[in-house]
Chain A
Amino acid sequence: MSVDRRDFIKILGAGAAGLVVGAVLGWATKPSEVQEITRTVTVTTPGVVERRLPKATVKIGVLGIRSGLWSTYGEFIEQGARLATEEINARGGILGSRVELVFRDEQADVVKQARELVDVENVDFIVGIDSSGNALRVGGIVDELGKIVIVTHAATHRLTEELVFKEGKKLIFRSSVPVYQDGILAAYIAKDLPVRKWAGINGDYEFGRVSWELFTKTLKTLRPDVEFVTAHWPKFGTEDFTPFISALLASDAEALHTSIWAIELVTLQRQLTAMGGYKKFKAVISTLGYSMDVVYALGAGYPTAELGTWVSARYMWLYPPTKINREFVDRFKARWGRLPAYSAETTYSAIYMLKAALENAVSLDPDAVVKALEGLVILTPAGVRWIRPEDHQAVYETPYGRITHKGAEVPLLEDLKAVPAMLYYRHPPFT
């Protein structure tokens, strides 16, 4: 136990140090235009050569799931994109050019939608994309599209590791943390929990499989004494988890890992509670358990395990406790009536990433903007984001915390554990 505690303190210390160093580095190295996103202004000084983009309107195509069971996620993307655009336009646009958004449903043949955004709508950039499969499809034709695509939700590591780093598709970027958070970071949380036998329930598709694989591999390295006793793989669109839950409960696992998300996670948590899962499992790690649709849906009924229901998301409104984040949350709530979901923030920040890059490049030429985006350090609501030049992946921190009920509008988190992003991100050359 003492080793675990030391490790725990080390991680916390490293986390805190990482945050401080990250923040200081971020402040020191970021371009002056993005020092404080919320105060970014475009000033035209008489006598100075005007820095202007070649078009009066910068068009951004926004892809998200806008139909079916996961359409809430397209709405989150839209909310983030709209808020950022309204703010930017209210302050004079990007170097004097107005920003305009064009929305498309990625469920309606994403390749066709992406092509139409470029060929018919003449967009300059594309942001969004919820599904990993769709991200890879658009990624596959990105050179034909000839436009920068910033993915703001899809989590497959293959997008940045394979398409960008190995295949050199330089037009792809991602503002959201990939599956490292669901697998590797979750293992850093699990290693400090006094349990040895783990079970998993993850989606029977790439994201679910990779989450579990990264989780088990990392945790076994960090804690060689752990055992993985059973793993279950419900298909995408499972409306009832009862047979999986009874099979999980029949095992001798002490804790559960899941990357099930959205409406499926709401059902899973409710059925797990109803069938006695929270009496059996001492700890539950739910990698997307603090996605706001789930948090609002479960509300005061969000179950808590003896050693904690540990949840995370690709951004959580209560972290980091910075001024820029607080102000973002307030503005978001005022605009949309709810706390921001993670993909709202990742899309909001993607548009500010573009703004910062355009203000540096003073050009809409994709190559010039790619150069400006590579290595960009930008202060966003989620914290300091560094766009890693090799794989175009935004590197930033998102913690895990234990669900707690304190009578607030939504369940809150306690014992927030932040691990330095450099520890749980995979690094080039990704071997």
Chain B
Amino acid sequence: MDLTSFLVQALIGLYKGSLYWILALGLVLIFGVVRVINFAHAAFYVTGSYLMYTFYTYTSNFIVSLIIAMIITGALGAIVEITIIRRVYKLETIYQLLATFGVALIANEAQKLIWGKGVVYISIPETLSRGVNLGGITINYYMALIVVTGLLLFIATIVFMNYTITGLRTRAVWRDPVMSEALGINTRLIYTLVFFTGTALAGLGGALTVPLISVGPGLADYLIVTAFIIVVIAGLGSITGAYIVAILVGVFSSILVLIVPELDIVILYIIAALILLFRPHGLFGER
């Protein structure tokens, strides 16, 4: 095993980690602020993929399709928050889980009705399909775009949360919703806004990945597991933690594929189980 193979595997891991991060970001935001574990998150992610497929097929404009897919997915998220999730905020967690799980099931079936049961995908835009050849392995520019997008999203989220007035209000609601409401913050609006943002980010993630992976009904069932593992290891509600853990998990599991092919993903579950046992609030979560 030479150094180049190792480096390539780490780079692939960086790309995989960035994908995990984009998937996990909305989940962390929604849990942090709204305190709902959104089982439907991956279903919104897949909705973003399908919307991207449809708009790109008709417009052939990558950027426009990406933005439309993101906004529509966010709008669907806001509608779900207003009509369903809002009604279960004050109920026990189990009702929230059931409600979001129900949304996921409805989304899966709706996707099947609209887009059929077949496999859909789009091609990587021409300019980004080229790449760098490292030891016979092509790392295309699109993979680099995913890494850069992930990093930009991280920076943007941190800046938004810490340096804008809406971010300040969001953090206030995150910390203490009752006190925030007493101070005149419209918590209901913040919840809807966060749900919109969280699901729009899921839509963006889904739209970005459709040139790389193939999409079919029920894909969300598999993606949600990975997203939850990241969030569990990081600690529910920790944005920086989720980014670091997503990247580490991506790189670590990718390198494991090369050196111990038999282990790879199993190791993730073992780490998640150990974290749950010894640090139930996660590596970066607050008690």
Query: B133 near A69 (CB under 8 angstroms)?
Result: no
Query: A271 near B137 (CB under 8 angstroms)?
Result: no
Query: A276 near B214 (CB under 8 angstroms)?
Result: no
At the interface, yes or no: B192 with Cβ under 8 Å from chain A? no
Closest CB in chain B relative to A231 CB, distance in Å: 7
Task: Give the residue of A237, A262, A270 whose beta carbon is less than 8 angstroms from that of B222.
Answer: A237
Query: B9 near A239 (CB under 8 angstroms)?
Result: no
Closest CB in chain A relative to B54 CB, distance in Å: 16
Query: A68 near B217 (CB under 8 angstroms)?
Result: yes
At the interface, yes or no: B195 with Cβ under 8 Å from chain A? no
C-alpha spacing A144/B148, complex, angstroms:
59
Q: Mark B187-220, 1 if CB is under 8 A from A, else 0.
A: 0000000000000000000000100111011110
Task: Give the residue of B5, B15, B216, B223 whose beta carbon is less than 8 angstroms from that of A263.
Answer: B216
The verdict on A235 contacting B214 (CB below 8 Å), with A246-B9, A250-B8, A276-B136 known, is no
Query: A71 near B218 (CB under 8 angstroms)?
Result: yes
Number of B residues, CB within 8 Å of A: 46
Measured between beta carbons, the chain B residues less than 8 angstroms from A297 are 118-121, 214
Q: Which of B60-68, B79-87, B168-176, B251-259 contacts A (4 or more CB under 8 A)?
A: B251-259
Q: Considering the complex, which residues of chain B in the window 69-116 have a beta carbon less than 8 Å from any beta carbon of chain A?
A: 108, 112
Task: Give the residue of A230, A279, A296 whose beta carbon is less than 8 angstroms from that of B118.
Answer: A296
Measured between beta carbons, the chain A residues less than 8 angstroms from B136 are 249, 276, 279-280
Q: Considering the complex, which residues of chain A in the window 216-252 have a beta carbon less than 8 Å from any beta carbon of chain B?
A: 230-233, 235, 237-240, 242-247, 249-250
Closest CB in chain B relative to A230 CB, distance in Å: 7
How many pairs of residues, A versus B, come closer than 8 Å at their CB atoms? 121
C-alpha spacing A68/B108, complex, angstroms:
8
Measured between beta carbons, the chain B residues less than 8 angstroms from A72 are 117-119, 216
At the interface, yes or no: B261 with Cβ under 8 Å from chain A? yes
Measured between beta carbons, the chain B residues less than 8 angstroms from A246 are 5, 8-9, 12, 137, 254, 258
Measured between beta carbons, the chain B residues less than 8 angstroms from A244 are 257
At the interface, yes or no: B16 with Cβ under 8 Å from chain A? yes
Query: B121 near A270 (CB under 8 angstroms)?
Result: yes
Measured between beta carbons, the chain A residues less than 8 angstroms from B135 are 249-250
Which residue in chain A gives the minimum CB-CB distance to B135? A250
Could you say which of A237, A244, A263, A301 has the most chain B C-beta atoms within 10 Å of its C-beta?
Answer: A263
| Chain A residues touching B, majority SS | helix
C-alpha spacing A263/B16, complex, angstroms:
19
At the interface, yes or no: B25 with Cβ under 8 Å from chain A? no
Query: B137 near A243 (CB under 8 angstroms)?
Result: no
Query: A240 near B221 (CB under 8 angstroms)?
Result: no
The verdict on A69 contacting B218 (CB below 8 Å), with A239-B223, A267-B213 known, is yes
At the interface, yes or no: B262 with Cβ under 8 Å from chain A? yes
Q: Considering the complex, which residues of chain A in the window 290-305 have a beta carbon less than 8 Å from any beta carbon of chain B?
A: 293-294, 296-297, 301
Task: Give the residue of A233, A239, A276, A301 whose beta carbon is less than 8 angstroms from that of B219.
Answer: A239
Measured between beta carbons, the chain A residues less than 8 angstroms from B265 are 235
At the interface, yes or no: A423 with Cβ under 8 Å from chain B? no
C-alpha spacing A271/B138, complex, angstroms:
10
Which residue in chain B gives the minimum CB-CB distance to A68? B218
At the interface, yes or no: B1 with Cβ under 8 Å from chain A? yes
The verdict on A71 contacting B117 (CB below 8 Å), with A249-B137, A280-B136 known, is yes
Measured between beta carbons, the chain A residues less than 8 angstroms from B9 are 243, 246-247, 250
Task: Give the residue of B5, B120, B124, B216 whose beta carbon is less than 8 angstroms from that of A69.
Answer: B216
The verdict on A242 contacting B15 (CB below 8 Å), with A69-B218, A267-B214 known, is yes
At the interface, yes or no: B230 with Cβ under 8 Å from chain A? no
Measured between beta carbons, the chain A residues less than 8 angstroms from B218 are 67-71
Measured between beta carbons, the chain A residues less than 8 angstroms from B112 are 71
Which residue in chain B gives the minimum CB-CB distance to A107? B218
Could you say which of A235, A243, A247, A270 has the most chain B C-beta atoms within 10 Å of its C-beta?
Answer: A243
Query: A263 near B214 (CB under 8 angstroms)?
Result: yes
C-alpha spacing A240/B1, complex, angstroms:
23
C-alpha spacing A267/B216, complex, angstroms:
11
Query: B253 near A274 (CB under 8 angstroms)?
Result: no
At the interface, yes or no: B166 with Cβ under 8 Å from chain A? no
Query: B117 near A250 (CB under 8 angstroms)?
Result: no
C-alpha spacing A262/B265, complex, angstroms:
21
Query: A243 near B13 (CB under 8 angstroms)?
Result: yes
Task: Give the residue of A250, A262, A263, A276 whose beta carbon is less than 8 angstroms from that of B1.
Answer: A250
At the interface, yes or no: B19 with Cβ under 8 Å from chain A? yes
Measured between beta carbons, the chain B residues less than 8 angstroms from A67 are 108, 218
At the interface, yes or no: A75 with Cβ under 8 Å from chain B? yes
Task: Give the residue of B123, B129, B137, B217 whose beta carbon is less than 8 angstroms from that of A71.
Answer: B217
At the interface, yes or no: B140 with Cβ under 8 Å from chain A? yes
C-alpha spacing A388/B221, complex, angstroms:
40
Closest CB in chain B relative to A245 CB, distance in Å: 8
Could you say which of A235, A270, A293 has the most chain B C-beta atoms within 10 Å of its C-beta?
Answer: A270
Q: Mark B117-147, 1 if CB is under 8 A from A, else 0.
A: 1111101100001000101111110010000
C-alpha spacing A244/B265, complex, angstroms:
11
C-alpha spacing A249/B118, complex, angstroms:
29
Task: Give the residue of A75, A239, A247, A266 whose beta carbon is less than 8 angstroms from that of B261.
Answer: A247
Measured between beta carbons, the chain B residues less than 8 angstroms from A293 are 118-119
C-alpha spacing A243/B108, complex, angstroms:
28
Query: A276 near B217 (CB under 8 angstroms)?
Result: no
C-alpha spacing A161/B261, complex, angstroms:
30
C-alpha spacing A203/B104, complex, angstroms:
27
Q: List 26 A-B contacts (CB under 8 A).
A: A67-B108, A69-B218, A72-B118, A230-B261, A233-B261, A239-B222, A239-B223, A243-B13, A243-B258, A246-B8, A246-B12, A246-B258, A247-B257, A249-B135, A249-B137, A250-B258, A263-B119, A263-B214, A266-B121, A267-B213, A274-B124, A274-B129, A274-B138, A280-B136, A293-B118, A297-B214
Q: A276-B137, A297-B120 are in contact. List 19 more A-B contacts (CB 8 A).
A: A68-B108, A69-B217, A70-B218, A71-B112, A72-B118, A72-B216, A243-B16, A247-B257, A249-B136, A262-B119, A266-B119, A267-B121, A267-B213, A267-B214, A270-B212, A275-B138, A280-B136, A294-B119, A296-B118
The 6 closest A-B pairs by CB, nearest first: A68-B218, A250-B5, A237-B222, A243-B254, A69-B218, A276-B138
